[in-house]
Structure 1
C-alpha cells in the first residue's frame, strides 16, 4: 500500500498533495526501494524524456552510477551501452515492448542485456520494467545470480530424485528376493505365493513407471532429447500406452473408452509424445476410483483424455501449472514421485503441442493435447 500511495503522490503531487506530503512519500518510497536486493531505478516521463527519481543502494553498488551523473535515461544508456549500434537496437526493442504494454495494459518489459558498469566491468542482467502511467520502475537482476539459484534448485531436484529411486526401488527388489528365498526353501504355500506375487506385480509396475519417468526426466535435464518429426500412428501409440498400464486399470476395473479416428495426419516426435500420453494416462488411472471411466477421444487437432476421478482443486491445479506441486497417493494408495505432470508440461514445450488441464474436485480431470500443426 505504501508503494502505491507514494507513486500516487509523486505523479499527482503538484495538483493534489502538499509539498510536505510529496516529500514524505518520496522518502517512504526510497526506503522501500533501498530494501530490495537488486538494482532499482524509478523514473518519470516528462515530455519526451525519462527523468530519474531514485536509484537504490544496490544500483549504486552493483552498477556504480548516481543520479547526478545520469539524470535521464538517455544519459544512462550512453554509459551502460557505449556501443552505438547495440544501444540503438536495445532502445528500439525496449520502446516497442513499452508501446505494446501501454496499448494492452498488460505485462511488463523484460530483456537480457550485457551492461557496462562504471568500473568498466561488463555484466549480464535481466532488465524488467513495470509501468504505472508515466512512472517506470526498472529492476536489474544479475543473471549470474539467477543461474546460481537455478543450479541450486537443480541440485536439490537431483538429490530428491536419487532419494526417491533408492527408496521406491528397494521395496519391490527386496520382495522379489524374499519370495525367491522362500520358494527355494519350500517355506511358502501356493496360496501365499500367489498373494505375494500379486503384490510384487503391482510394485514392479510402479517401479517400471518410476524408471521410465526418471529416465525421461534425466534425458530432459541433460539435454539428450532430440526432436524427430514423424507421422504419428495414434492407434498404435494409444494401444502401447494402454498395454503398459493394463494391469493397473484392470486391477481397479476401470473402463477405457477410445475414439481417436479423427487424428490421422499429425506429425510430431513419437518418443516424446508417447511419454506425454503415457504419463497423462497413468495419472488418470491413478486418480480414478474402482469401476471408473476414462475416455480418450479426438476433436479436430486435439487428443483429449478425460477421467471421472477425484479431481483437483483450483489451488492444486495452480500448483501443478506453476511446477510447485508434490505428488499425492492415488485412489488405491498408488505411489507417485511428483514429476509426472511437470514432466508432461516441460516435454510439451519441446514438441509441436500445448497442454491444457481442467479439473474439478470429485468430478474429474480433462487433459487436452493440442497440436499446432494444421490438419490435412
Structure 2
C-alpha cells in the first residue's frame, strides 16, 4: 500500500486534486469528512462533546451546532485542548480503520489540511502540496464561497506559509490556472510515479539510474531532509545518526541525481536488523559488502582490516526520487570517510574541481558500457583511483583542521 499525504492552504483546490485521483483509482480519506463523521448524531464523539461543553452546542434537531461549539471551544487554549482531546483520537481511530480497510495494492491519499502544521510528512511515502497564490485564494474564498474577506485573510494567516509548504512538498502542484488545468498533470503523476511507486513498494523493486551527471540542484538538501525524516521513522533507535552524504550534499557540485544518505549503526548486526523496517518503508536491501568478498573495491586508503569497510546498501522504490542508503558502523573507516569526504569537498574548491573532472571521465567510460549492464561498475572502477588518493588527502585535511564527525 502506498500512502500519500495531500495538503494545501484553504482555497487552493485540494478537493479538485482528490477528485481527480479518486477518479483514477486512488482511495481518498478526507480528514474533514472524517471529523464530521465522528460527531454525527448518535456517535460516541457527539456524546463526549456534549458531556464536555454542554447541551448548548446542539441544534434543535440534535445535530452539532458548529458555530456554538466554536464559541465555547476556541475562546482559550484550555478549551481548545479539551476539544482536541475529544475529537483527535476519534479522527485518528477512524482514519486508521479506513486506511487499513484499503486493498494491499491501493494508493491511499489522505487529504489533511494541517499536514504541514502538524509535521506529519514523514508518515507518508510522498507529500503532495496544492498551491495557489494567497491573493487568488482570498478571491476564491470571497467570490466563490461567500466568505467575508477579513475571515478569509484570518484563516490564511493561521495556516502554514507557502515557504513552509514548499519545504514539505515532494510534489508541488500549481493550481493557479483555469478550471481543469491540473487534470493532465495529476494524471501523469498517477501513471508515471504513483502507480509504479506502489508496485515497486509491494514487490521490493529498486529504482536505479545510469551514471549521468546532472546540474547541481539547490533543492537536493530539502529532498534529503524529507528522506532522512522518513528514515528516522523507519529506523527508530536502530540508527545512531542519519546524514546526507555524497555529491548531492556538496553545494554547487554536479552529481548523479541520486540522494545519498548514510545511516550510522552500532554494529553490522544492527544494520541487518533494519533490513525489514527499511524495506517496508520503501527502501529495500540491494547489496551487502562484507570482508569475505575477494577484492573489495571499497577498501581504499590501505586500511589493514577490510572488515571495517563492511556496509549494507539500500535503494528506493520511488521512480521520482532515486536514493542510495548506506548503513555503516559508527567509527569504522567507511562511516568516517563518508562524512569526511563531504566536509572536505565543501571546504576545498580545488578538491571539488578535481573530483568533478574525475566524475566526468568516469561517466564517459561508463557510457561505453551503457548497453552491457556494466555501466555502474565501470563508473565505480574509474573513480576508484581518485578515491584512493582522496582518502589520504582528506585525512591530511582533517588533521590540519581538527575535523571530527560531530
Normalised TM-score (structure 2) = 0.22
Larger Rg: 1
Larger RCO (CA under 8 A, 6+ residues apart): 2
Q: Which has the higher strand share?
A: 1
Normalised TM-score (structure 1) = 0.23
